[in-house]
Amino acid sequence: MNGHKKEIKMGPPECIKKIEDNIWELPTSYKQGMNVPGRVYANKVLLDSMDRGVFDQLANVASLPGIQKYAACMADGHWGYGFPIGGVAAFDPEEGGVISPGGVGFDINCGVRLVTTNLTVDQVKPKIKELVDTLFKEVPAGVGCTGFVKVTKEEFKQVLIKGSQWCLENGYATEDDVANTESSGKLPGANPVDVSDKAIKRGFDQVGTLGSGNHFLEIQEVKEENILDPEIAKTMGITGDGQVCLMIHCGSRGLGHQVGTDYMRKFLGVMKQYGINILDKELACAPMNSPDGKAYYSAMACAANMAFANRQVIMHRVREVFKKIFGESTEINLVYDVCHNIAKLEKHVVDGKEKELVVHRKGATRAFGPARNEELPDRYKEIGQPVILPGSMETGSYILVGNDKADQETFASTAHGAGRIMSRAAAKRQFDGAQLQESMLKKGIYVHGVSMRGLAEEAGGAYKDIEIVAETSSQLGIAKKVVKLVPIGNVKG
C-alpha cells in the first residue's frame, strides 16, 4: 500500500551531507521534530533518482519516539506508505521505542526464497513453456485467488502460530527447508487472539498462492561468468554453468493487509493516551512495551508465519510440478528464505552498549554476517546469511551474503531488490503488456502473467538498475556479491 505523492520533485534536499562514499546524512535541522539524523545508503546516481518524498518520509521516521542512531534508507529506496520503501529503523522499547505498521508494510513478511535444482538449462529450456504454464496453473496467482491447502479457520490458527513448522508437520516441508528459512520459518510471540476475524477470513484459504503486483515465481539460469565467488556459491548449492534455479516472491496475502489496516486504525485512536505526536498519520504507532504494541507484534508475527507457510507450500507445489515434468530424480533444495517487510526483536550495539531493539525493515533485507553465526543455519555460519536481491523480470537478480559491517552500519540490513523508479500507473501508460511479453520471448524469457496490464506494471524500465543497487551494497561492505541469476521463465501475479 502506497501513500499518494504530494510532490514530484526529484533528488535530495540541499542540506544533505556526504559522510563517505555511498553514505549521505540528512541533518536533524531538515525538519522540526527529528530526534536523530536520516541516512541514505546509495551512490550519487541512485540518490538523485529518489523523489523528494523519500527524504521527507525519512525525516518523519527520525521523529518517532525511542529511535536509535538514525533512520536509514537503503539503495533501492523509493516513496512508500509511512516509511520509505527501503526504510530501516530500530527502536529501544526501554526508552519508549515504538512499533509501527507503516514501518513494516501491509504485505507483512513479503519475502523471497531461492531454490536450486539439479537440472540444467539444456534440460529445462525445451520445456520452458510447459513448465511455466503448469506452474501458473498449479500455483494460483492474482487478486483474491485461493490455494489448494484446505484448512478450517480454527486449523488456520495453527498456521499462524507455527509457520513453516506447520508445513513440516503436515507434509509440505522438509527439515532442511525449515532450517534454511529466516527465523526457522516461525516468529515467536504469535497469538491468533490478536488477529481479527476479518483478517482470518481474508487469509485462511490463501495458503499456497502467489498473489498479485510484483509477486512472481521465476525460473533462472546460472552462467559461469556470473559466479563471482565460486566457493560461497558452492556452499549455497549453486554449482556451475547452466544450472537452473528458481525464486519465489510473495507474502501474507489478505491476512497481512488486514492486520496492517486493523492496527493502523487502532493506533491512530490510542496514540494520544501514550503522549505520542507524529508528523505523518501513516506512521501511527504504539510503544513496543504497551499492551497495544504487544498486540500488534503478536498479530504481525501471525501474518509473518502465514507468509512463511505460504512460500513453503508454493515450494512444495513447485517440487511436484518439476518431478512431474522432469522425473522423480529431480532435486529441489532451498538455499534460503528472507523477509522483506518485518519488525523483529534483535540485539544490536548502540554507543558501546548492547540493547534489544525492535528493528523495522520495510522493503529491506536482513544481512547478518558470520559474527552472528549463532543465529544462522549451520551451512552459513562461516560465510554469513544469504541475501536475495531480485531485479526486474527482464534483467536478473543477485545473491549476496551479509557482512559483519552491516551490523555496525545499518542494523544488519541491506537493499531488498531493484526498487521502483516509476509508479504502476506510469508504467501502464508507458509500456504495453503484450508487446513486453513478445519482446521478452525474443530474449529467451517466457512469461505467463495474470493480465497484460499487470505485466506492463512490472516492465524492466519501471525499476532501478539492479547492477548499481547490488554494487552499492558491495562497495559499502554490508553485503558481498556471490552470483547473478538471469531469468528464462516467469509466472507473474
**What pTM, to 2 d.p., does this model score?**
0.95
Q: With a cut of 80, say whether residue 426 has pLDDT above it.
A: yes
Residues 248, 318: Cα–Cα separation, whole Å: 10
Residue 437 has pLDDT above 80, yes or no: yes
Burial of 378 (0-12, 13-18, 19+ CB in 10 A): exposed
Specify the CATH number for the domain of residue 426: 3.90.1860.10
pLDDT at 212 (0 to 100): 83
Which amino acid appears at position 403 of this protein? N
Using 50, 70 and 90 to split pLDDT, how confident is the model at 143?
confident
Write out pLDDT tens, residues 87-111: 999 999 999 999 999 999 999 999 9
CB 384 within 8 A of CB 450: no
Q: What is the mean pLDDT of residues 386-405?
A: 95
Examine residue 2 and state whether it is found in any structural domain, yes or no: no
pLDDT of 276 reads 97
- Output DSSP code: residue 482: E
Choice among 200-214, 298-312, 352-366 with the minimum mean pLDDT: 200-214
For residue 210, the SS3 value is: coil
Q: Can you read off the three cell numbers belonging to residue 399? A: 545473491
pLDDT at residue 8, as a whole number: 66
CA distance 232 to 247: 18
pLDDT beyond 50 at 4: no
Which residues are catalytically annotated?
416
pLDDT at 83: 97
Spatial contact of 336 and 113, defined as CB atoms under 8 Å apart: yes
- Is residue 365 predicted with pLDDT exceeding 80? yes
The set of cell numbers assigned to 60 is 518523519
Q: What is the mean pLDDT of residues 344-370?
A: 97
Distance CA 337, CA 22 (A): 27
Burial of 132 (0-12, 13-18, 19+ CB in 10 A): buried
Q: How does residue 3 score in pLDDT terms, banded at 50, 70 and 90?
A: very low
Distance CA 413, CA 403 (A): 10
Domain membership flag for residue 67: yes
Query: Which pLDDT does position 148 carry in this prediction?
Result: 87
Cα–Cα distance measured from residue 89 to residue 112, given in angstroms and rounded to the nearest whole number: 21
Q: How far is CA 347 from the centre of its chain?
A: 21
112-136 pLDDT per residue, tens: 999 999 999 999 999 999 999 999 9
Helix (H), strand (E), coil (C) string for 316-346: HHHHHHHHHHHCCCCCEEEEEEEECEEEEEE
Q: What is the mean pLDDT of the segment spanning 357-364?
A: 98
Which grid cell sits at 279?
508528523
155 Cβ neighbours under 8 A, 6+ residues apart: none
In a domain, 6, yes or no: no
State pLDDT tens for residues 31-69: 999 999 999 999 999 999 999 999 999 999 999 999 999
How far is Cα 485 from Cα 224, in angstroms, rounded to an integer? 10
For 261, half-sphere exposure in the C-beta direction (CA atoms, 13 angstrom radius) is 12
Q: Is position 11 within any domain?
A: no
**Does any domain span residue 142?**
yes
Q: Would you say residue 5 has pLDDT above 80?
A: no
Residue 402 forms part of a structural domain: yes
pLDDT digits (tens, 9 = 90+) for 212-239: 878 999 999 999 999 999 999 999 999 9
The mean pLDDT of the chain is 95
* Assigned domain for 8 exists: no
Radius of gyration (C-alpha) of the chain in whole angstroms = 21
Q: Is residue 5 part of a domain?
A: no
In whole angstroms, give the CA distance from residue 37 to residue 26.
6
Written as one letter, the residue type at 343 is A
d(C-alpha 178, C-alpha 24), whole Å: 38
Q: What's the total number of domains in the chain? A: 1
pLDDT one-digit tens code per residue, 280-293: 999 999 999 999 99
- How confident is residue 2, by pLDDT bands cut at 50, 70 and 90? very low
Domain assignment of residue 252, given as a range: 17-492
Which three cell numbers mark 331?
532435486
pLDDT of residue 267: 98
